Amino acid sequence: MLWLCIRLPALVHEANAASERAALERLAAWAYQWTSWVSYRLSAEAPQDLGLPPAPLLWLELGAGRSLFGEPTALLAQIAAALTHLGYSHTCALAPSPTAAALLTRVSEQRCTLTRAQLRARLTPLPLSLLELPAATVTALRAAGLRCIGELLALPAAALARRFGPEICLYLARLTAQVSDPRPAWRLPPVYRARCEFGQDLHETGMLLFSLQRLLLEFQGYLRARDCAVQRFTLELEHPRRPVTTLTIGLCAPTRAAAQFLLLARERLHELALPAPVRALALTAGEFTAAAIGQIDGFSNQTQQLDELGQLLDRLRARLGENAVRGIGWQADHRPERAWAQTDFAPEPHPPRAPAAAATASLAAAYNDAACSDAPARPCALLASPQPLAAPPQLLTGPERIESGWWDGTDARRDYYIARTADNARLWIFRDRREGRWYLHGLWV
């Protein structure tokens, strides 16, 4: 076993024990992407009379994933860089036992030991004050003439146990990885909820972005750890003495890329007018789906196109609103305004490509349909509602009679004509047979 211990002194400044625990659990969930054994200790749980400022600790077992992640020292560098990116000041140490790793986070250099022998050699010159033993014990050891940990380790265990009690022997055995040193394994929660409290009230959405980015990066770590993705998550902005503002962010396809989350969340925040200052920010996600496995198709860029289109739709919806992005469809009705409908646009994979010649021929055939087939001609542009015309312009063809809809209360009895204006624009107009008035209904664009 090989334990990475991360000391996070900055978290102590979090307002209280509850928020320190929340921050630690967020990081624990984030760290789960590299290991299946994460444990933590709050600063309040550290031995009291240690004479050192207590700090929360996070342990990750790295030995088991060695074949997956490569050399632990390289992984350590990667994790440290990710932590710096998240904006946490930290000290990391690597040792065969969690107790030793915790001790090594308090020394200034050479904090990585991979084997028991290396650990013993590293501990030997260190001062007794680093040991997590009661202050009285350390004073007594000093009085006995001991100065460094190496001298203490050289003493016979039985004599030490008689003088100071059996606890010190157990502690030293755990420190040197001679006996097992169990740590409670923290488990991933089934529902993700991360909350981050600000020390002060924030008045602008722009000021939320740093914390938001951190929350989303930690969320990405959690999703990686569970090997899943989300299609929807919720951001809650908490205000003093006001109900929370909730933003639900939906995506076209399940994803776990923090950069994409941030892009969408930023658009939504940009649009948002804050009703009150923000005191805390929370992120919740409850529905997880299997992550789409990115397969590389050597012959087409179809999957990539779908992804890109999905991301475009997400961006458009985030900024313009859910209903701003629509598709169109065909409906069976004789009334022109009811022969079409808005639809929900969903990216669809492209069917296998037809031979080029056939495609072009069918294209040309379809294109000729309007002119050659028996289907009545319809313009590509329809007005949202028919516009009254004072007098009809020059009529070219017609009439085409449409009588329909007496059963649903929007009875239409019209004669349609194609007409031409003075500047040669072609119009699709009709005469209402009940009123006798002319209306403009479409344009031959």
Kindly list the residues in this chain that would bind another protein in the complex (CB under 8 A). Answer: 301-302, 304-306, 308-309, 311-312, 315-316, 319-320, 323-330, 336, 339-342, 345, 347-348, 350, 353-354, 356-357, 359-372, 375, 378-384, 420-421, 423-427, 442-445
Q: How far is the CB of 36 from another protein (least distance, A)?
A: 38
CB nearer another protein, residue 42 or residue 316: 316
Closer residue to another protein in complex, CB, 142/326 = 326
| Closest distance of CB 332 from another protein, Å | 10
Residues in Cβ contact with 93 at an 8 Å cutoff, skipping those fewer than 6 apart: 4, 5, 7, 101, 102, 103, 104, 105, 107, 111, 112
Nearer to another protein, 72 or 336 (CB): 336
d(CA 339, CA 337): 6
61 CB-near residues (< 8 Å, 6+ apart): 1, 2, 3, 4, 35, 36, 37, 38
Least CB distance from residue 92 to another protein, whole Å?
Answer: 40
Give the integer Cα–Cα distance in Å for 294 and 18. 39
Q: What's the closest the beta carbon of residue 265 comes to another protein, in angstroms?
A: 17
Closest CB 353 distance from another protein, rounded Å: 7
Instruction: Return the number of the residue (158 or 372) whose C-beta is nearest another protein.
Output: 372
Bridge partners (DSSP) listed for residue 413: 403
Nearer to another protein, 191 or 356 (CB): 356
Residue number, 89 or 373, with CB nearest to another protein = 373
Q: How far is the CB of 204 from another protein (least distance, A)?
A: 20
Name which of 136 and 259 has its Cβ closer to another protein.
259
To 10 degrees, what angle do helices 157-164 and 135-143 make? 120
CB within 8 A of 243, min separation 6: which ones? none
CA distance 272 to 29: 29
Minimum distance from residue 323 beta carbon to another protein (Å): 7
Distance between CA atoms of residues 296 and 267, nearest Å: 30
Write 99-104 long-range contacts (CB < 8 A, 24+). Answer: 99/132, 99/171, 99/174, 99/175, 99/181, 100/3, 100/175, 100/176, 100/177, 101/3, 101/4, 101/5, 101/59, 102/5, 102/7, 102/41, 102/57, 102/59, 102/132, 103/130, 103/131, 103/132, 103/175, 104/5
Residue type at 345? F
- The least distance separating another protein from the CB of residue 194, rounded to whole angstroms, comes to 29
Provide, rounded to whole angstroms, the least separation between the CB of residue 406 and another protein: 22
Query: What does 35-79 look like in DSSP terms, one character per residue?
Result: -S-EEEE-GGGS-GGGSS----EEEEE-STTHHHH--HHHHHHHH
Q: Which is nearer to another protein, 347 or 392 (CB)?
A: 347
CB of 310 to another protein, least distance (A): 9
C-beta of 227 vs 271, nearer to another protein: 271
CB of 289 to another protein, least distance (A): 22
Residue number, 390 or 422, with CB nearest to another protein: 422
Residue whose tokens read 């342990």: 59
85: left (phi over 0), alpha (psi -120 to 50) or beta: alpha
**Identity at 183, one-letter amino acid code:** R
Distance CA 210, CA 18 (A): 21
Name which of 305 and 410 has its Cβ closer to another protein. 305
- Alpha-carbon distance of 70 to 2, in angstroms, equals 13
